[in-house]
Amino acid sequence: MSKLRRLTLATLLLVFFTIGRVGAAEWQSEWESALKGAKKEGKVVIAIPPSAELRKELEPLLKQKFGIEAELVVSRGADSANRIASEFKAGVRYFDMIIQGTTTAMSLQDGGMLDAVSSYMILPEVKDPKYWWGGHIWNDNLKTNRFLYSFVANAGTEGLFYNAELAKPEELRSFDDLLNPKWKGKIGLNDPRIGGSGISLWSFMWETKGEEYLQKLVQQDLFLSRNLRQIADALAKGKLAITIGLGRAEYEPFMSAGLPVKEVPRPKEGLPASSGYGVLGIVKDPPHPNTTKVFVNWFLSKEGQEFYAKVMKQGTRRLDVDTKWMRAEGVDAAKDVMTIAEYNRVRNHLEDKVINVRRPAAKFAEKVLQ
């Protein structure tokens, strides 16, 4: 090798090494600054899914790891979004973030009330799309500026549960079986006229079975409510035989207590791939910006996603987090059982589906549900 070539190679190596050091120094400096700022702020406020277990586990964990006091407000998504929106319009910033389902934060995004999650990503293992199945997937997938990060992908949505003392799985093999006169007055429905898990299955039925089917379903004298605890309690106590639009988080306390609550086997029509309670949004100009940065980067890291998957039984898209164990819990992470192409074919979430399927289905619900 000539002296000139050796010199050129050495120069290139020095350049690459220097660039690498500079890049590392940038994110490390930003991360250290966020940690320092978080200690001064000392608090983060997050609207979380209706899971007492998540609040119970997450609050002490954040205190132990980062010295952060976490105020976790447990509520159904629509209620959280409505509160954030009303406070935002009044000039109040109380919440930093929201973790909910697909449609909950869409109105906040449409109203310009969210910051881009990407601007809060610091750690390389969070920012680099190679760590995520399908790369980075944004709930608001029709826009250039992406605000809502979709970190969960389940192969099938939760939402159909039954009381094992009143119904048998072989009686519930198809959506058509819900029209059996036997179930009249015995089916609970999470109100699909507002954002939340109720619209997920309702809109899937609207798309696959049609409006005539849904009109017949309504004639079953549905127990319609926006109170998820009320519906779940009614199923667990045998006042209802079947419920539509509630997830495992609502039923976990009853199942852990040994009550006869079971998930309905996958019907012949299939189920839509779902983001579950797996969408993260950041309120614009959050009151605790540094603790928000710290939480976002921990939460979307391998450690944070292992924690969330364990507590919530949700199929994180992180490739370095094992989710195969969930099958024993009746949950399949999309990354374990399907390709990205298959996932995009059967999902009924993300903004394109919200506009073309969920919102029309919700309007139909307003028409037939009185």
Contact by Cβ (8 Å): 124, 325:
no
Q: Is residue 251 part of a domain?
A: yes
Classified as helix, coil or strand, 219 is coil
Tell the residue number behind the tokens 């029309």, with chain if given.
360
Whether residue 143 is found in the same domain as residue 188: no
How many domains would you assign to the chain?
A: 2
Whether residue 197 is found in the same domain as residue 142: no
Whether residue 102 is found in the same domain as residue 164: no
Residue 138 pLDDT greater than 90, yes or no: yes
Whether residue 125 is found in the same domain as residue 232: no
pTM assigned to the model? 0.79
pLDDT digits (tens, 9 = 90+) for 153-212: 999 877 899 999 999 999 999 999 999 999 999 999 999 998 777 888 999 999 999 999
Rounded distance between C-alpha atoms, residue 232 and residue 257, angstroms: 13
Amino acid present at 325: W
Q: Is residue 347 part of a domain?
A: no
Contact by Cβ (8 Å): 179, 220:
yes
Our CA angle for 315, 97, 199, nearest 5°, is 55
Residue-level pLDDT at 128? 97
Whether residue 309 is found in the same domain as residue 264: no
Residue-level pLDDT at 11? 54
Whether residue 207 is found in the same domain as residue 254: yes
Whether residue 284 is found in the same domain as residue 305: yes
Whether residue 248 is found in the same domain as residue 308: no
pLDDT digits (tens, 9 = 90+) for 205-221: 999 999 999 999 999 99
Which residues form the domain of 201?
Answer: 160-271+359-368
CATH number of the domain that residue 258 is part of: 3.40.190.10
The set of long-range contacts for 23-31, using a CB threshold of 8 Å and a minimum separation of 24, is 27/122, 27/123, 27/124, 30/122, 31/122, 31/123, 31/297
Averaged pLDDT of the chain? 90
Residue 102 pLDDT greater than 80, yes or no: no
Q: Is residue 346 part of a domain?
A: no
Phi, psi of 150 (to 5 degrees): -100, 105
Residue-level pLDDT at 338? 94
Percentage of the chain modeled with pLDDT above 70: 93
Whether residue 180 is found in the same domain as residue 210: yes
